[in-house]
């Protein structure tokens, strides 16, 4: 079943184009990531899904219901966490979670007690006395306590210390295994690679790449060379794609035969060389910065 679908979704703020012709499809059971630099349009897309703002062109659906026409019905089954979580200075985690349960007319406090334990939440301390990391954990707990069908998270790792981040993402994975679909925006490709099933890359308001992370990706190598001079023709004939070039170094991506690469490098005068498998971050930065066309590239879909 389609959990989220956007069709030609476009949003302008005056003369500023925030989103242009965004078409996404998130299936039930996925952990779907949305990644891009600040200003790419991630938060704008989430606000459109939640009916906080309205599109200029196109539409979006959640649970196959129109987000603008069925917002109240949709939100009964959705948990949302903004990138920055703010509450009244005197409120406690216990009060927030109990209020959330009451809002959803849930009498059992079992899920609340489970979240206290999983996230090590202090239920009686006032909000103003909590660290930013603890405040973010409480915001995430409030989004999860009613056991929603869909979680929408805007930069869930922001503000979390390393231990808390691990707690949160393991909790999200457990929720997903129990049937919760997750749509998250992040600036961290590491988070996306470690936890998501698919990811869309936003650039200047457009989706320019979608990748299925459950399938084996091509073995791309990132090669860096240091020396006094380089013959780029040999590297380009070999199939190397230049990423960064200076007077004394060159960085390129390579997808061909490793033996041919090593043979070519052995004939060059080098001071140092590194070869590593490309991470998702390497590949996306290559795609984002490498002057590719703006058409969406879909891999493994």
Q: What are the pLDDT digits (tens) for 36-52?
A: 888 899 999 999 999 99
What tens digit of pLDDT does each residue of 251-285 get?
988 888 899 999 989 888 899 999 988 777 766 76
What tens digit of pLDDT does each residue of 69-83 get?
999 999 999 999 999
pLDDT of residue 289: 60
Q: Output the pTM of the full model.
A: 0.80
Across 16-31, b (16+ Cβ under 10 Å) vs e yields eebbbebebbbeeebb
Q: How confident is the model at residue 299 (pLDDT cuts 50, 70, 90)?
A: very low
* pLDDT at 94 exceeding the cut of 90: yes
Collapsing DSSP to helix, strand or coil, 11 comes out as: strand
* pLDDT at 115 exceeding the cut of 80: yes
Query: What's the mean pLDDT in 197-209?
Result: 91
Query: What's the mean pLDDT in 119-129?
Result: 95
* pLDDT at 291 exceeding the cut of 60: no
CATH class assigned to 221-277: alpha beta
User: How distant is the alpha carbon of residue 126 from its chain centre?
Assistant: 31
pLDDT of residue 281: 72
Q: Where in the chain is the domain with CATH 3.40.50.300?
A: 2-212
**Which residues are bridge partners to 182 per DSSP?**
31, 151
Q: Which fold has domain 2-212?
A: Rossmann fold (3.40.50)
Paired sense of beta strands 181-186 and 150-154, if any: parallel
Which of 95-99, 179-183, 195-199, 291-295 bottoms out in mean pLDDT, i.e. has the lowest? 291-295
Q: Where in the chain is the domain with CATH 3.30.70.1150?
A: 221-277
pLDDT of residue 132: 96
Pick from 257, 283, 261, 281: which is nearest to 273 by CA?
261
pLDDT of residue 277: 81
Q: How far is CA 23 from CA 36, 38, 295, in A?
A: 16, 20, 12
Find the angle CA(127)-CA(43)-CA(92) to the nearest 5 degrees.
10
What tens digit of pLDDT does each residue of 221-258 get?
889 999 987 777 788 888 888 888 888 899 988 888 89
pLDDT of residue 182: 98
Collapsing DSSP to helix, strand or coil, 270 comes out as: coil
Alpha-carbon distance of 52 to 194, in angstroms, equals 30
Q: Give the Cβ contact number of residue 126 at 10 Å.
A: 14
Q: How confident is the model at residue 216 (pLDDT cuts 50, 70, 90)?
A: low
Average model confidence (pLDDT) across the chain: 89
Alpha-carbon distance of 155 to 138, in angstroms, equals 15
* pLDDT at 294 exceeding the cut of 80: no
* pLDDT at 99 exceeding the cut of 80: yes
Higher per-residue confidence, 219 vs 207: 207
What tens digit of pLDDT does each residue of 153-177 get?
999 999 999 999 999 999 999 999 9
C-alpha dihedral over 236, 240, 242, 246, to 10 degrees?
Answer: -80
């Amino acid at each position: 079943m389609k959990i989220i679908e956007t069709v030609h979704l476009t949003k302008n703020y005056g003369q500023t184009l925030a989103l242009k012709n965004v078409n996404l499809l998130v299936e039930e059971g996925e952990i779907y990531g949305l990644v891009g630099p600040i200003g790419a349009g991630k938060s704008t897309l989430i606000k459109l899904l939640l009916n906080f703002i309205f599109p200029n062109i196109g539409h979006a659906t959640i649970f196959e219901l129109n987000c603008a026409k069925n917002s109240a019905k949709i939100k009964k089954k959705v948990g949302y966490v903004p990138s920055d979580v703010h509450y009244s200075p005197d409120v406690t985690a216990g009060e927030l979670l109990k209020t959330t349960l009451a809002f959803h007319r849930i009498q059992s406090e079992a899920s609340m007690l489970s979240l206290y334990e999983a996230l090590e939440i202090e239920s009686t301390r006032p909000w103003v006395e909590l660290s930013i990391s603890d405040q973010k954990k409480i915001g995430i707990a409030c989004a999860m306590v009613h056991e929603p069908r869909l979680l929408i998270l805007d930069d869930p790792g922001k503000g979390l210390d390393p231990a808390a981040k691990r707690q949160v993402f393991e909790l999200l994975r457990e929720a997903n295994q129990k049937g919760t679909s997750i749509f998250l925006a992040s600036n961290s490709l590491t988070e996306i690679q470690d936890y998501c099933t698919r990811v869309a890359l936003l650039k200047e308001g457009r989706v320019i790449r979608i990748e299925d992370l459950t399938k084996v990706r091509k073995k791309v190598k990132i090669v860096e060379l240091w020396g006094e001079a380089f013959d780029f023709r040999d590297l380009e004939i070999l199939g190397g794609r230049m990423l960064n070039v200076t007077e004394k170094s060159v960085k390129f991506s390579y997808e061909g035969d490793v033996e041919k690469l090593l043979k070519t490098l052995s004939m060059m005068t080098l001071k140092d060389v590194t070869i590593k498998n490309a991470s998702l971050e390497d590949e996306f930065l290559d795609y984002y910065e490498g002057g590719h066309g703006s058409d969406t590239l879909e891999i493994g879909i």
